[in-house]
Amino acid sequence: MREQLIAAERIKALEWKEGALWLLDQRVLPLNESWIECQTSVQVTQAISDMVVRGAPAIGIAAAFAVVLAARQRYQDEPHSWRSAMEEDLQQLAASRPTAVNLFWAIERMRSVLAKVPAQTSPLPLLEQAALEIYHSDREANLIMAQLGMEVIRHHCEAPQHVLTHCNTGALATGGFGTALGVVRAAYLAGLVNHVHVDETRPWLQGSRLTAWELASDKIPLTVNADSAAAHLLREGDITWVIVGADRITANGDVANKIGTYQLSVLARYHDVRLMVVAPSSTIDMQLQTGADIVIEERTADELFTVAGVQIAASVPAFNPVFDVTPAHLVDVIVTERGVVEQPTLEKMQQLMSHAALH
């Protein structure tokens, strides 16, 4: 299966080439495939805020390379005070988006490498190696989670299933071929899934623009539905799993993910459909006890009121939270590269996180 999965890795969200970070501009997909070159951490920070690159693991990877770029520039410009000068870049980077913990996790990882750089030595080789490791280990985590999640689906039923997914959790959101979408890909290859329902994911349309594009390019049968069709679909359709990713999972197993996930979790429980959350352990934040402690990002009204740059509604006040929190008791299973947790609790999450770290 691993070889089959590797053969399915075709789309990349980012590339590190000759000292620059290249980002596939997700704001204009799928109609335009255009790449943006980032030579500075300021450019990467802006790209994360503007959603050129998005999805928790991909944000973490981009942030790791931003630290390399910040160190390069500061070391060139201020060889004696580059460490303190970099602080400003790291703070700006950390302020780019608040909810996905992978951003902060990656910055902390890079900080710990920075601390090991001897005085009067270029930080670049060590930092570049660390960023590449973050990138490669996320890809590896995707491959492991895909197989673990597929086995969970197989355990519950051998016959091909219909599943529903929300947002984009594929190659565009990670360093590999996806978290939740990685499980869907593996389950499709194993003959365990034969149709994917894709929530369009208002307002940014990660589902209809990004997930649909990825699935179509893999020739996996799909249909896109309006988010508001989910209750109808779960009652009328023969969906057995809702499979989603996560931006932050707290110590008790609460899950922050794309806005609309919470309502899906309620609907899934009501209709006796299982909810699987797939995320690498870099998305688990054991410092926060519950989802109530998570900062939920709110974005501007124009994401609700404009379509392809055209204003389609009156300029009235808007409420645009882009994540929500699903309580642990509505989650049937969390799949990580460290293992699988059913009906998550604090004890089970602590046990999971005490397993050997891949990252």
The annotated binding site is made up of 54-56, 97, 206, 257-258
Q: How far is CA 300 from the centre of its chain?
A: 21
Distance CA 359, CA 337 (A): 9
CB 202 within 8 A of CB 227: yes
* Cα-based distances in Å from 286 to 4, 106, 281, 324, 331: 34, 15, 10, 18, 17
- Residue 171 CA to residue 7 CA, distance in Å, equals 13
Instruction: Let me know how long the chain is.
Output: 359
Q: Which positions from 215 through 274 interact with ligand MRU, judged by CB under 6 A?
A: 245-247, 257-258
**What one-character DSSP code corresponds to residue 225?**
E
Q: Is 128 in the site for ligand MRU (CB under 6 A)?
A: no
Which residue among 41, 96, 179, 211 contacts ligand MRU (CB under 6 A)? 179
Count of residues that interact with ligand MRU, criterion CB under 6 A: 17
Nearer to ligand MRU, 245 or 344 (CB): 245
Give yes or no: 272 in active site: no
175 binds ligand MRU (CB under 6 A): no
Least separation in angstroms between residue 80's CB and ligand MRU is: 38
Catalytic residue among 89, 138, 199, 247: 247
From the CB of 167, what's the least distance to ligand MRU, in Å? 4
Looking at 232-327, which runs of residues are DSSP E strands? 239-244, 248-250, 255-258, 274-278, 284-285, 306-307, 310-311, 323-326
Identify which of residues 185 and 258 has a Cβ nearer to ligand MRU in the complex.
Answer: 258
Instruction: State the binding site for substrate.
Output: 54-56, 97, 206, 257-258
Type of residue found at 163: V
Residue 189 C-beta: closest distance to ligand MRU, Å: 19
Active site residues: 247
Binding residues (CB under 6 A) for ligand MRU: these are 54-57, 100, 167, 169, 173-174, 179, 206, 245-247, 257-258, 322
